[in-house]
Structure 1
Amino acid sequence: MSPVAKHGDQYQLSYRVGVAENKNSKFRKTMEDVHTYVKNFASRLDWGYFAIFDGHAGSQASKWCGSHLHRVVEELLLEDETDDVRNVMNRSFLRVDQEINSELPGNSGCTAAVCMLRWELPDGVPEQSPELNEHKRKLYTANVGDSRIVLFRNGQSIRLTYDHKASDILEMQRVEQAGGLIMKSRVNGMLAVTRSLGDKFFDGLVVGNPFTTSVEITNEDKFLIIACDGLWDVIDDQEACEIIKDIKEPNEAAKTLVRYALENGTTDNVTAMVVCL
């Protein structure tokens, strides 16, 4: 497989991206979701950056992340290209969390689900190797909160994120050890997620360290779904994949997911991004 398909004199990306969103005005007065997509990320051919941020207590944090997080990731990535991308993601999330809390007014926060798709040479292959078919396509993910990334591989959904909710036993223990209290499945009775970017009111209890993954993309991988909890509150991973698996156009697939969420009673903003691989 070549990193890019050449069509005439134009290089075509090896992936296609679709996105759909809806404020859900029946239940929500404002839209606090933000999405970001950067093709040829870090000025590298056929790399991609995809992210969804779901804001709470205002949209300042989610908008800030939508505008800035990819720049921080790129900066840290290019500082040391031998560093594990998962480590780069972790450092980027922590820097952004700190910047939001020190620079933005208010106490807004946001969940984050971020993917980076890139081509790599396997260990032992010289960097200057001209053989494109030796490159492997790698996907790196990072998330805080309950926005989710799901990979559809060989007919099965694979969740690449971890739902950081106050109802989760491990997160509950971490918050309590940090001096917090879980009441009614909320941190100090107020916040349903235990990890986020921003939320300085909960500093030390709600942290910005993401859950990260790394996976090699193969011919069995068909698409990714990146979406906020407005979708996942009303559908499970496998069912979401099933209802779009035969839709070839990624924008139509994303619209189908958003429509499903609205028709099935979600009370939140809804954003879904579909990346066809």
Structure 2
Amino acid sequence: MTKSDNPEREDNSRRTSEDHRYKLSYSVGVAENKNLKFRTSMEDVHTYVENFASRLDWGYFGVFDGHAGNQASKWCGGHLHSVIEQKILEDESKDVREVLNDGFIHADEHINSKVDGNSGCTAAVGILRWELPSNMPSDQVELDQHKRMLYTANVGDTRIVLCRNGHSVRLTYDHKASDTGEMQRVEEAGGLIMRSRVNGMLAVTRSLGDKFFDSLVVGNPFTTSVEITTTDQFLIIACDGLWDVLEDQEACDAIKKSNDASEAAKTLVRMALERGTTDNVTVMVVLFDNSP
């Protein structure tokens, strides 16, 4: 179990085993800061699960940025990985992107119907796993023929950025009320965009929770899949407290020489604060081990 840098919060990181008899192909570092100068409470929550779904070297990574309270982000931090794991195990032939969509919709409905308050949260989730080549009998597959796949899903403006051969590759989509496509969707659903906010109040157009906005703000995520190869160095998963003040490539450049995921995450949080971010800041770095 990892320990949170913020002692005021319940830690939602998870590890499936403390006594590793093997070396994972990735390492995870998390850093966070309430940003006391501008914020009186911490509404960000993060979770990661090693050997996700009880599968060797799989991983689950999530960052949730709450608003109007932390009830939604805390529920996602404590439960969304279990929901997604159950859905994966129910039908292992199903496209993981569909599983992520189903999991996000389940979370949105559960928070709106079962969780106290009217809070919501943005979310960015990644699932790293090994897969067999398609159309090949499992008894004919060698270990080095497995593919390492990354599946991502997000709602809102919490972002996942992959550093590939030194260059940033954004794997998520910022669902903001200033986005033309999202603006059209909200208006067709009967809402208004005023001052780049849904009904003049909420800056994001997709989230988990936010029952007050009903069908205007939805939980359907943007999803991607990508094969992770030796050209991929690390992932950055972070809330808008980082991305409001750093560009994707700037963030990658700042930590591309680091071989310590925790120090890399701390570096990015420190940079965000120095740049004057006014939000809570949570950064997760997933560093890939590409050694043979």
Shorter chain as denominator, the TM-score bin is over 0.9
1:159-178 deviations in Å (ceiling 9; x for gaps): 00000000000000000000
When structure 1 is superposed on structure 2, of 124-133 and 25-34 the one drifting more is: 124-133
2:75 alignment partner in structure 1 = 64
Residue 130 of structure 1 and its aligned partner are, at CA, apart by 5.3
Q: What is the one-letter code of the residue matched to 1:76?
A: K
The equivalent position to 1:251 in structure 2, one of 262, 270, 273, is 262
Q: What's the counterpart of residue 245 of structure 2? A: 234
Is 1:45 the equivalent of 2:49?
Answer: no
1:95 to 97, 101, 106: 106
Asked whether the equivalents of residues 31 and 262 of structure 2 are also in contact (C-alpha less than 8 Å), the reply is yes
| Alignment match, 1:105 | 116
Q: CA deviation at 1:127?
A: 2.6
What letter corresponds to residue 163 of structure 2 in structure 1? F
Retained in 1: the 8 A contact 2:268–2:283? Answer: yes
How many Å separate the matches in 1 of 2:203 and 2:211? 15
Aligned equivalent of 1:218: 229
Work out which of the residue numbers 11, 14, 37 in structure 2 matches 1:26. 37
Q: Of the candidates 48, 67, 74, which is equivalent to residue 85 of structure 2? A: 74
- For 1:228 and 1:68, the matched residues in 2 are separated by 19
State the alpha-carbon separation in 2 of the partners of residues 104 and 119 from structure 1.
34
Question: 1:205 — aligned with what?
Answer: 216
- CA-to-aligned-CA distance 1:11-65 (integer Å, 9 cap, x gap): 1100010000000000000000000010000000000000000000000000000
Q: For 2:57 and 2:176, how far apart are their aligned partners in 1?
A: 34
Is 1:191 matched with 2:202?
yes
Return the offset for 1:125.
1.8
Residue identity in the other structure for 2:52: F
Deviations 1:119-170 (A, max 9, x none): 0011122134451111000000000000000000011100000000000000
Return the alpha-carbon distance in structure 2 between the equivalents of residues 224 and 105 of structure 1. 33
Counterpart among 115, 138, 163 of residue 127 in structure 1: 138
Q: CA deviation at 1:247?
A: 1.1
Say whether the 8 Å CA contact 2:132–2:141 is kept in structure 1: no
Distance (Å, rounded) in 2 between the aligned partners of 1:155 and 1:69: 31
* RMSD of Structure 2 on Structure 1 (CA): 0.8
Cα distance in 2 for residues equivalent to 1:258 and 1:218: 27
In the alignment, structure 1 segments of 5+ residues that lack a partner are 1-8
Distance 1:34 1:128 in 2: 41
In structure 2, how many angstroms separate the alpha carbons of the residues matched to 1:111 and 1:165? 11
Deviations along 1:41-93, whole A, 9 cap, x unmatched?
Answer: 00000000000000000000000000000000001000000000000000000
Distance 1:190 1:130 in 2: 54
Residue matched to 1:159: 170
Q: Shift of the alpha carbon at 1:183?
A: 0.2
Moved over 4 A (4+): none
Write the distance in 2 (CA, Å) between the matches of 1:10 and 1:94: 37
Aligned equivalent of 1:35: 46
With normalisation by structure 1, the TM-score equals: 0.96
| AA aligned opposite 2:264 | A
Separation in 2, partners of 1:189, 1:128: 58
Q: TM-score if structure 2 supplies the norm length? A: 0.91
Aligned to 1:137: 148
Q: Percent identity?
A: 74
